[in-house]
A and B are shown apart, each in its own frame.
Chain A
Amino acid sequence: MRTQFRDTVSALGDADEKVVVVLGDISMFQFKNFAEKHSNRFFNMGICENSLISITAGLSSQGLRPFVHTIAPFLVDRCVEQIKLDMCYNEFGGTIVTTGATFDYAWDGATHHTYMDLAILRMLPKMGVCQPGSKKEVDSLIRARYAGADPTYVRLSDNPHGLDIDVTFGKANVLKNSSKKLTVMTAGPIAGNVMEAVKDLDVNIVYFSTIKPIDGEAVRKFKDTPILVVHDAFGLHEAINAEMPGLNTTYQGLPDAFCGWYGTVHDLRKRVGLDPASIRAKAQSMLGQRNF
């Protein structure tokens, strides 16, 4: 997804002199060509995430279309107040693009895990919150939002879901719609495990690439079935329930604990019950079936 981010922003930057790239000492080699072609609009600013966000807001105030990019926990968790005040409250837009989603850096421990970002940012007025699961989605969501007045968060991952889904900002995709018994709702890269787990079961499957605004129509459409929300972060479950309080939802996702077990993203997903087998067992249990 990071190479797609580079390609999309490079193409936009070639055509639009307002596009500016601000990096926090990451992805410099990815943007080597952009830096050479547009040296006055490329800044590897340093390891100073709070200032990166505020400076990005300042660039936006001058009519530019900045992209600010570095590792997710440092650019979001650390900078919530800068995003809240300098971008949202001040109404200075821009696109925040992070890498290192959830357990992408499993081996680095909890300092590098990111799971609050979507949940926190969806609470901020004017913020658009995107969780693409493939290169195609990255391209589509960035193009839809980068020139708008409101700030946008785009959460990249090194573990795309491997599905071919055409997404539209703010709209969910109903991938399967035939069940009266159970609806599985998911978002972003974990959708790969979800599809592998439940595609042959009697369930509906709804995929979200945008956490805010959540597609309320898609939520209400399945209000009459129990809903299993499978997500490797916080935010989607909350957004669905905020959209329609009283739904019968169950969350299969992260525990209230630091997941500092190292290893790979697959190791951690399995430990917390987000591997295909665990997701399938949960869905079968909700369908009243024995686990096979």
Chain B
Amino acid sequence: MSALPAFKLPERPLKMDARAKEIRTNIINVSASSGHGHIPTSFSIVDALCAVYNTMSHDPKQPKKADRDIFILSKGHAALGFYCTLATYGYFPIEEVYGFGKFDQKFGCHPDRTKVPGAEASTGSLGHGISLAAGMALGMKIKGENKRRAYTLIGDGESNEGTVWETIMVSVHRKLDNLTIIFDANNSQIRCMPVDNAAARFAAFGCDVHEVDGHDIAAMEKALKAPAKSVKVLVAHTVKGYGCRSLHEGTGMFEWHRRSPKPEEREMLLGELDAYSV
């Protein structure tokens, strides 16, 4: 495997995008209200989701529009981040998301495509969404829909699953240059099996790799818009819990993996988010 220079995130956080801050604020509030949600993993992908929804062809008022691009959240446990993003982008009012995880509501802790406008696949078991997205990209090719693209966001932990690499082999072999994979390199697997040097791994499989700061929306949009020579992979280097100090410092990302804030913690996290955003 060819060695690539280690990617370094900037020392200081970028000024947080207003929409990204709104989404993170809603994540904290919905989680505090419902007692559900994976906050750190949702926080790590918010900026990548903004880049995707700023870039791809979609219409929140016509979520099933025939010529739309498709986005699949393969790491379905980041559903809360996904729902809050869809709300900010106009798919439904954020008030609806406050039913998160509650009986008979639309918004489960993993997305259900038959219930949530804008959700293109029901995910939760890892290593499925990427393969569905590949099938969708192949379907677009068969039908000659050359302007459409399929996007999927996978986790680095998810990439312990063999189906991720199986599907990448198939996708590269089938020349699915209309498939974009965002790899959330948030180091969640440092305690078991990290996917080290991910960019070199994807490049070795024949992907068109862009290594980016996963909190720099403009940089990701540029990479997403670049012409694709093969299956495009954005290795998005992120901080799990980016936006609140308590979520990522020390062992925060593990302690908060699936924990919702109590009222006083909610205030603390919102304060930390404000501090990050100036």
Contact = CB atoms under 8 A, between A and B. Distances in A.
A164 to B, nearest CB: 38
B139 A54 contact: no
A86 B136 contact: no
A56 B134 CA distance: 9
Contacts of A20: 142
Contacts of B128: 54, 81-82, 85-86
Contact of A58 (B113, B138, B163): B138
A58 B133 contact: yes
Given A59-B135, A82-B128, A46 B169 contact: yes
A92 B136 CA distance: 11
B170 interface: yes
Nearest to A40: B142
A54 B132 contact: yes
B139 to A, nearest CB: 3
A48 B142 contact: no
Contact of A61 (B132, B163, B170): B132
Given A51-B163, A55-B167, A63-B139, 9 more contacts: A48-B166, A55-B138, A58-B132, A58-B139, A59-B142, A85-B124, A90-B113, A91-B114, A92-B132
A289 interface: no
Given A48-B166, A62-B139, A90-B121, A54 B173 contact: no
A51 B120 CA distance: 18
B143 interface: yes
A56 B166 contact: no
Interface of B: 113-114, 120-122, 124-125, 127-128, 131-143, 162-163, 166-167, 169-170, 173-174
Contact of A59 (B121, B124, B138, B173): B138
B135 A57 contact: yes
A50 B130 CA distance: 12
A2 interface: no
A64 B138 CA distance: 11
A30 to B, nearest CB: 21
Interface of A: 20, 40-41, 43, 45-46, 48, 50-51, 54-64, 81-82, 85-86, 89-92
- With most chain B CB atoms within 10 A of its CB, the pick from A20, A81, A90 is A90
B170 A81 contact: no
- With most chain A CB atoms within 10 A of its CB, the pick from B114, B137, B138 is B138
B148 to A, nearest CB: 9
A50 B167 CA distance: 9
A55 B152 CA distance: 14
A92 B135 CA distance: 11
A62 B170 contact: no
B4 to A, nearest CB: 27
Contact of A64 (B142, B167, B174): B142
Contacts of A58: 131-139
A62 B136 contact: yes
B154 to A, nearest CB: 13
Contact of A41 (B135, B142, B162): B142
Contact of B122 (A45, A60, A81, A85): A85
A56 B133 CA distance: 11
18 contacts: A41-B142, A43-B174, A45-B170, A46-B170, A51-B167, A54-B132, A54-B135, A54-B163, A55-B132, A56-B135, A58-B136, A58-B139, A62-B140, A63-B143, A64-B139, A86-B121, A90-B122, A92-B132
